[in-house]
Structure 1
């Protein structure tokens, strides 16, 4: 794995962990997705226009089709994950989704993008995915709503795997600039969720009044985290990028222990080291 690709994914992991902590603190629904997506559209508009002017990207039917498909996949992921958090157990939905995603991403990359997985890469990916499950608590026997949690977790993981492979093809083969791809996804979320947002203005006002800084942080870091990943995908195989992204889970869980008072710091530090060992093995492959 190229060092530059690893550094991009590492920076993306930090951004991803940061905005996830903010989302957890706010505990919103589709109206929150609409709000931070709208702010993202406003904040990133100058950069998007600059890329259009300076790079003059080609947007034929294939590029338009795959860009629209990416927006739909990402919206589905956000909605499914938040529904899973409301109807299932967080301790099941999140680790299942994050462990399933890279596994499917790598599988799709091998099946459809012609990438090759070495034994070392497979072992490293298995260590990372297994470490993520153990770090996040795994499948706890005492957890409630197990079927719902499992279903939503697998569904969200399937969407993670799908949009990662889909977007990799879009930026690497169709040459859609990564920032424009993510920007179009934000625009798509705003348009598709506008009817819902119109009916829930009170919730939007509440989020903006009480959580303004957190909402702005999400609006900046949510696109930035994935834009960095997309740039890495332009020159780094999906089979490397997808498992390495799981460093964000380490940061998110540790932030929960240290910043949100969730405890279990010793247990989580041990499994964090296991995941970092797997990531190191992957990077050296």
Structure 2
């Protein structure tokens, strides 16, 4: 992985942690996610007007990607209704690099060097250690199935999007269309599950969702572009350094307590990121 790609993925990780924090602290998490998903779709529609239509074989990957992204957002929304940023986010993101590593090696034939594989595993271990409080601190375990579902969806869309963008030959085109499809599917699913209660009303919800949409779109556009320049599993693992940024946001901005376990986890994550650069 080249230095420009490495730095771009780190920037995308910071943006990803930022929009998750906006959703978590929002007055209406479902409403914020509705606005975020809808604005992403509008941005995507504006982008694809500047691009040629995808080839026939690419549309299957676009629809699959949109559906998986919608599932990810649904799982994440429900998880945040039962748990804190510092617990849900690590669980939702933590197991995805290891799932992606195995799936990428088995199905896509992508070779990852031993130091990179070690970095991925250390990174994932640090993230899981950070999340251990859900079992030891008496926190609600109702968020667990949703967080695990979000992790599986993360691994799924990572593999689908990396391959789909390569097939399309343009990450800009692919990302634009996937967010158009995702916006439609997510809105339909949320309205079916929550009815009119899912519709955002407060101005601050629209503001948070709009800012989150811009950050999320930029973050993922950079990540998918990076997947066309470096191994998918490596990009996915490095992107999970967003956990480090989320912990810092929780500590410095949201005034969450920094425990010894959190500090150790952050060190493991930093070491995992360093190993991916060897």
Which TM class, normalised by the smaller chain length? 0.7 to 0.9
**How many residues are aligned here?**
275
Note the alpha carbon deviations across 1:142-188, whole angstroms, 9 max, x for none: 33443x4433232221111111011111112x125223333223322
Task: Output the CA distance in 2 between the equivalents of 1:16 and 1:67.
Answer: 21
In structure 1, the partner of 2:98 is 103
1:19-168 matched pairs, under 5 angstroms: 19-50=19-50, 52=51, 56=52, 58-60=54-56, 62-87=57-82, 92-146=87-141, 148-168=142-162
- 1:96-135: per-residue Cα shift (whole Å, max 9, x none)? 2211111111111101110123322222112111111223
> What SS does the corresponding residue of 2:276 show, helix, strand or coil?
helix
Measured at CA, do residues 273 and 202 of structure 1 come closer, stay the same or move farther in structure 2, by a change above 3 Å? closer
The two structures have a TM-score, normalised by structure 2, of: 0.88
Gap regions ≥5 residues in structure 2? none
Residue matched to 1:184: 177
Mapped to 2, the partners of 1:266 and 1:139 lie a distance apart of 16
Any conservation in 2 of the 1:17–1:248 contact (CA below 8 Å)?
yes
Distance 1:186 1:210 in 2: 23
Q: Which segment drifts farther, 41-50 or 270-279?
A: 41-50
76-85 or 197-206, larger mean C-alpha shift? 197-206
User: Separation in 1 of the partners of 2:178 and 2:107?
Assistant: 23
* 1:213 positional shift: 3.3
Q: Are residues 1:279 and 2:273 paired? A: yes
**Partner Cα separation in structure 2 for residue 89 and residue 214 of structure 1:** 18
State the partner residue of 2:209.
Answer: 215
2:197 is aligned with 1:204: no
**1:230 equivalent in alignment to 2:224:** yes
**Is the contact between residue 34 and residue 199 of structure 2 (CA under 8 Å) also seen in structure 1?**
no
Gaps in structure 1 of 5+ consecutive residues:
none
Give me the CA root mean square deviation. Answer: 2.5
Q: TM-score, normalised by structure 1?
A: 0.86
Distance 1:49 1:239 in 2: 31
1:252 is displaced (CA, Å) by 0.9
Separation in structure 1 between the aligned mates of residue 107 and residue 122 of structure 2, nearest angstrom: 24
